[in-house]
Amino acid sequence: MSLYAEQLPPISLSRVEMVRALRRILPADAILHQPESLRPYECDGLSAYRELPWVVAIPDTLAQVQAILKLCHSHKIPVIARGAGTGLSGGALPRDQCLLLSMAKFNRILNLDPVNRLARLQPGVRNLAISEAAAAHGLYYAPDPSSQIACSIGGNVAENSGGVHCLKYGLTVHNVLEVQLLTMDGESVSLGSQALDGPGLDLLAVIHGSEGLLGIITQVTVKLLPIPECAQVMMAAFDSIPEAGAAVAAIIAAGIIPAGLEMMDNLAIRAAEDFVHAGYPTDAAAILLCELDGSNAEVSEQLLRVHHLLQECGATRLRTANNEAERLQLWKGRKSAFPAVGRLSPDYYCMDGTIPRRALAGVLQSIADLSQRYQLPVANVFHAGDGNLHPLILYDANKPGELVKAEQFGAEILQLCIAVGGTITGEHGVGIEKINQMCAQFSSAELQQFHSLKRAFDPDGLLNPGKAIPSLRRCAEHGALHVHHGKLAHPGLERF
Amino acid sequence: MNQTDHSRDWQQQIQEHHAKKSPLMIIGGNSKAFYGRRADATQVLQTRAHCGVIEYEPAELVITARAGTPLREIETTLAQHQQMLGFEPPHFGEHATLGGCIAAGLSGPRRPYSGSLRDHVLGVTVINGRAEQLHFGGKVMKNVAGYDLARLYAGSLGTLGVILDVSLKVLPLPETELTLRFEMHVEQALAKMQQIAPQPLPLSAACYDGAELSLRLSGTPQGVQHARSLLGGESVPKADHFWRQVREQTHPFFQHPQPLWRIAVPPATSMITLGDAQWIDWGGAQRWMYSETSSEAIFSLAQQHGGHASLFRGGEQPRDVFQPLHGKLKELHVNTKLAFDPLCLFNPGRMYSYY
């Protein structure tokens, strides 16, 4: 059965005809259409969902991309853009009778301008490669999603990727100056500018997190920041999650904006400790990792204050990294939390809701209750500074019904996030994965507004159809399952 | 604190205008009437009555308030908890409202270092041109559900609908601030701005008034003192007053009868020659200058430097006040406007003549 709820209108070209048409634009080895060569493209970072692509095109010039889009536009063939394929919500999941357009070959840094502190990049440049290239000038690119070694900047813009330093340095949208894209009709447009803002409406903001539904990103200009003189990390252990939550609020209320502020619960701590021996106390109910950066003088002053605050909030153990090796070791536990948890269970399902920080203790208690009810363990890793939760639900896909159970559990967690005033996705995107939960977060009128905006960029709805924004029909079918604020969602719609 | 919710009245009013296809001019404190083009509408939707802080928890670093809330009230409320709006918005008048501030999208001297107004927008509730009340974004820092339409309202000059309320990220007030001043020529000032920008210093403003470079440092006492020892220069007493004059354009430089142009460029752009006097702000990225030169020539000059220009104040209203849009970009603007406001009810002509 297809993962997509609705059928696409029939297209006028067969696969063979499409391949033949593409051969006029691309060399034969840049077109994939045999099952064995399509297999590597059947999923992105969310491997639970797979579909074999129809045809894959791997252009390496802008003119080729333009010609492909014009071809697809004239034959009304939908296009799904793919970057490095590390997305966690199935945004690049292929679909039958849709062209999968890989932008992976566009991996050149076009210009690194240390004087204006910006870098002009092709969309396939890896996130980490930007900071590596800028380091020679004492500069770096701030957003650091955990996949930064592999993920590419075009995908980062499409997903508005975050990372562990968002509270202080923002998301991708806060660090990009200009994006060039091709609209579905193959026309080029530039949003933003090389200055700090651009003329007219802030369409640059809208492109961030648009998940390949508005255009094909062909160039990104990012802002580079000076590498801080000093970064220091402190670990605090707590006997209860509410105490750790209160400590987070106390640090922020004291006027300190840490570069990173992460929390892990007991199961995550034990998994990470077992895996990389970061030096975490395995008997703690929760640990906090608080990173401060700035000049040496600034960091020393703030460390002292954070130390006092954490003590006052009941930290049972406090450890400051004495050197860079210890700092990296403390981070290593957090950064390898996902694979560490992966060793506990054949499969895990990573959620991405964001909540107001004050709701933390209540939400984690409810997740623990749900875990009991579903009989599936959960490890919690939390970007505590910005309220972004990553509950990891452990399950075994080989046991009949467990994936469905894990998905239902995950959906309930997302409902919980909405109920406390949060959102279903903080940084991983909606993609195909959370499309049903969008119906709970947004009203029909809001979804219709999203669709109107989509038509402003892509009138025929050919870019990444079926992702990110659900159709009202899909919500009407799904909405019957959910009662939102005591009311049935989308009461004005027919039920099927 | 004055608390009033007028959203239902407005929705009804907009429904009526929708039925009559009759356009509306949205006015908050009327403090930025000089900015942009004149809206082609005679009937007014006055937003000041819809006011009050809806939610503010300092530890969440978020404030939510109705659009008519005086900007001054927002800033006072935040200051009571040692917090501030990180984008240091200009008020341009004592009645400036939060809604007008968001719609104008203007940021003050702190912008290159703490982010722009749109960077701090987390969520909005609006009424669109179909008289529908819609909510986009939220009250959390990280949120990628749906298109980011909340930020689109920042700087949209009321052309996409009426803003009902806004959630903004707020920042702690710096523990200490210090302003240093250096007398130098313009070329030296531009060079110095670029020399210090890549250094890890707690810089929070950098401007040049034609004779002196002013650098503001914000942070912990030791951090600021350390930076001062590296930079040298004269420490400026009562610098808050100076930066308020810069932000509000009450500094004598801004009291000139000629048309005032804002040119946004990459910060290291060399001296742009136009007219006699110019003010360089945002570490070089924002240039203010007076000129009677034709708007076409100024737009073209800004474009040559990789930026864009706007006629900020004064002068006869030319066809375009903002850098003209062409081709696909223009098409996307028109399509986007129509996606929110299909009958062009809100502030027609305020941003561009054609919408």
**Are the Cβ atoms of A452 and B132 closer than 8 angstroms?**
no
In a domain, A259, yes or no: yes
Structural tokens at position B309: 């220009």
Domain boundary among B144, B173, B202: B173
Same domain, B169 and B188: no
Å from A327 to nearest chain B CA? 20
Please state the domain count of chain A. 5
Burial class (CB in 10 A: 0-12, 13-18, 19+), B334: middle
Run of H or E including A63: helix A62-75
Strand intervals (E) in A63-144: 79-82, 99-102, 109-113, 118-121, 139-140
Both A235 and A334 in one domain: the answer is yes
* Same-domain status, B278 and B144: no
A358 and A335 within one domain: no
Q: What is the pLDDT of residue A494?
A: 34
Q: Say if residues A59 and A68 touch (Cβ distance below 8 Å).
A: yes
Within-domain flag for B197: yes
pLDDT given at position A92: 98
Tens-digit pLDDT profile for residues B104-143:
999 999 999 999 999 999 999 999 999 999 999 999 999 9
CB pairs < 8 Å spanning A and B: 270
Alpha-carbon distance of A235 to A330, in angstroms, equals 8
A202 and A125 together in one domain? yes
The reply to whether A495 falls in a domain is no
Q: Chain A within 8 Å of B19 (Cβ-Cβ)?
A: no
Cβ(B246)–Cβ(B89) under 8 Å? no
Say how far apart CA B193 and CA B196 lie, in whole Å. Answer: 6
Measured between CA atoms, the residue of chain B closest to residue A227 is: B200
- Could you count the other beta carbons within 10 Å of the beta carbon of residue B275? 17
CA angle, residues A461, A463, A467, in degrees to nearest 5? 90
Q: How far is CA A382 from CA A336, A392, A437, B91, in A?
A: 13, 10, 21, 38
| A356, A420 Cβ separation under 8 angstroms | yes
Residues B134 and B188 in one domain: no
Residues A243 and A329 reside in one and the same domain: yes
Q: Do B154 and B180 belong to one domain? A: no
**For the segment B147-189, what is each residue's pLDDT rounded down to a tens digit?**
999 999 999 999 999 999 999 999 999 999 999 999 999 999 9
Domain assignment present for residue B330? The answer is no
Helices H, strands E: what count in chain A?
17, 20
Examine the domain organization and report whether A243 and A311 are in the same domain: yes
List CB contacts of A63: < 8 A, sequence separation 6 or more.
Answer: none
When CB atoms are compared, the residue of A139, A162, A450 closest to B147 is A450
Phi, psi of A78 (to 5 degrees): -65, 155
Q: What distance in Å separates the CA atoms of residue A469 and residue A431, rounded to the nearest whole number? A: 8
> Is residue B168 domain-shared with residue B181, that is, in the same domain?
no
Q: Report strand pairing: A99-102 vs A79-82.
A: parallel
Quote the pLDDT of residue A287: 97
Nearest alpha carbon to residue B201 among A295, A171, A397, A221 = A295
Same domain, B19 and B166: yes
Please name which of A62, A55, A59 lies closest in space to residue A78, comparing C-alpha atoms.
Answer: A55
CATH assignment of the domain containing A125:
3.30.465.10
Q: Which neighbouring-strand residues pair with A111?
A: A120
Residues in chain B closer than 8 A to A441 (CB atoms): 145-146
* B132 vs A449: CA distance, rounded Å: 10
Strand pairing report for B43-46 and B24-27? parallel
In a shared domain, residues A128 and A76: no
- Chain B residues with CB under 8 Å of A199 CB are 308, 310, 322-323, 325
- Do both B71 and B218 map to the same domain? no
Residue finishing a domain among A226, A259, A274 = A226
Query: What is the rounded distance in angstroms from the CA atom of residue B344 to the CA atom of residue B347?
Result: 8
Question: Do residues A29 and A117 both lie within one domain?
Answer: no
Beta bridge mates, B84: B171
Residues in chain B: 355
Interchain proximity A195–B119, CB inside 8 Å: no
What is the sign, positive or negative, of the torsion defined by CA atoms of A255, A256, A261, A267? negative
The enclosing H or E element of A272 equals: helix A266-276
Residue B259 lies in a domain: yes
Q: Which of B125, B144, B143 is nearest to B55 (CA)?
A: B125
Residue A267 lies in a domain: yes
Domain extent for B251: 176-313
Same-domain check for residues A370 and A328: no
Per-residue pLDDT tens over the stretch B254-292: 999 999 999 999 999 999 988 778 999 999 999 999 999
Asked if A425 lies within 8 A of B144 by C-beta distance, the reply is yes
Interface touch B198/A193, C-beta < 8 Å: no
Domain of A209, in residue numbers: 109-226
**pLDDT category of residue B2 using cuts at 50, 70 and 90:** low
Query: Is residue B92 located within the same domain as residue B118?
Result: yes
**CA-closest candidate to residue B269, choices A115, A200, A246, A395:** A115
Yes or no: say if B129 and B341 are a contact pair by the CB < 8 Å rule: yes
pLDDT in tens, B304-328: 999 999 999 988 777 899 999 999 9
- Taking contacts as CB-CB distances below 8 angstroms, the residues of chain A near B323 are 199-200
Domain CATH number, residue B76: 3.30.465.10
At residue A487, the pLDDT reads 41
The string of pLDDT tens digits covering residues A119-155 is 999 999 999 999 999 999 999 999 999 889 999 999 9
- Say if the ipTM goes beyond 0.85: yes
Residue A353 in any domain: the answer is yes
Q: Are residues B183 and B162 in the same domain?
A: no
To test the contact with chain A by mutation, choose from B87, B130, B142, B353 the residue with the greatest count of A C-beta atoms within 10 A, namely B142
DSSP sequence for A296-316: HHHHHHHHHHHHHHHHHTT-S
Any idea what the Cα angle at residue A459 is, between residues A124 and A15, rounded to 5°?
Answer: 65
Name the E strands within A224-269: 225-226, 230-238, 260-265
Number of domains in chain B: 2
A408 within some domain: yes
Last residue of a domain, one of B133, B156, B173: B173
> Is residue B75 within 8 Å of residue B84, measured between CB atoms?
yes
Residue B321 lies in a domain: no
**Interface probe, candidates B147, B328, B355, chain A, greatest A C-beta count within 10 A:** B147
Residue of B nearest to A433 (CA): B145
Is B293 found in the same domain as B155?
no
Kind plus residue range of the DSSP H or E element containing A288: strand A286-294
**Residue ranges, chain A, pLDDT below 70:** 1-2, 479-496
Closest CA to A195 of B8, B279, B306, B247: B306
Distance, in Å, from the CA atom of A175 to the CA atom of A223, rounded to the nearest integer, reads 5
Asked if A226 is an interface residue toward chain B (Cβ–Cβ < 8 A), one would say yes
Rounded Cα distance, A256 and B105, in Å: 27
Q: Which of residues 266-285 of B touch A (CB under 8 A)?
A: 266-268, 282, 285
For residues A121 and A184, state if they share a domain. Answer: yes
Q: Two tokens at B15?
A: 């429904």
Same domain, A372 and A277: no
- What are residue A350's DSSP bridge partners? A392
- Which residues in chain A have Cβ-Cβ distances shorter than 8 Å to B120? none
Same domain, B48 and B169: yes
Sequence-ordered list of residues with C-beta below 8 angstroms from that of B54, at least 6 positions apart, any chain: B64, B65, B66, B165
What CATH number should be reported for the domain holding residue A24?
Answer: 3.30.43.10
- Residue B130 backbone dihedrals phi, psi, to 5 degrees: -100, 15
Q: Which of A292, A309, A339 is a domain's end point?
A: A339
* B346 part of a folded domain: no
3-state secondary structure of A488: strand
CA A307 from centre of chain: 32
Q: In terms of domains, do A326 and A356 share one?
A: no
In a domain, A369, yes or no: yes
Of the residues B277, B298, B313, which one is the last residue of a structural domain?
Answer: B313
Residue A475 lies in a domain: yes
Q: What are the residues whose beta carbons fall under 8 Å from the beta carbon of A77, sequence distance 6 or more?
A: A11, A13, A18, A71, A97, A98, A99, A462
- Residue B281: inside a domain: yes
Q: With respect to residue B319, please indicate whether it lies within any of the assigned structural domains.
A: no
- Shortest Cα–Cα distance, A226 to chain B (Å): 5
| Nearest alpha-carbon partner for A333 in A424, A404, A263 | A263
Of A174, A200, A226, which residue constitutes the final position of a domain? A226
SS (H, E, C) chain B: CCCECCHHHHHHHHHHHHHHCCCEEEECCCCCCCCCCCCCCCEEEECCCCECEEEEEHHHCEEEEECCCEHHHHHHHHHHCCEECCCCCCCCCCCCEHHHHHHHCCCCCCHHHHCCHHHHEEEEEEECCCCCEEEEECCCCCCCCCCCHHHHHCCCCCCCCEEEEEEEECEECCCEEEEEEEECCHHHHHHHHHHHCCCCCCEEEEEECCCEEEEEEEECHHHHHHHHHHHCCEECCCHHHHHHHHHHCCCHHHCCCCCEEEEECCCCCCCCCCCCCEEEEHHHCEEEEECCCCHHHHHHHHHHCCCEEEEEECCCCCCCCECCCCHHHHHHHHHHHHHHCCCCCECCCCCCCCC
User: Does the distance separating the beta carbons of A202 and B151 come in below 8 Å?
Assistant: yes
- The strand pairing partners of A318, in sequence order, are A236
Contact B222 A210 (CB under 8 A): no
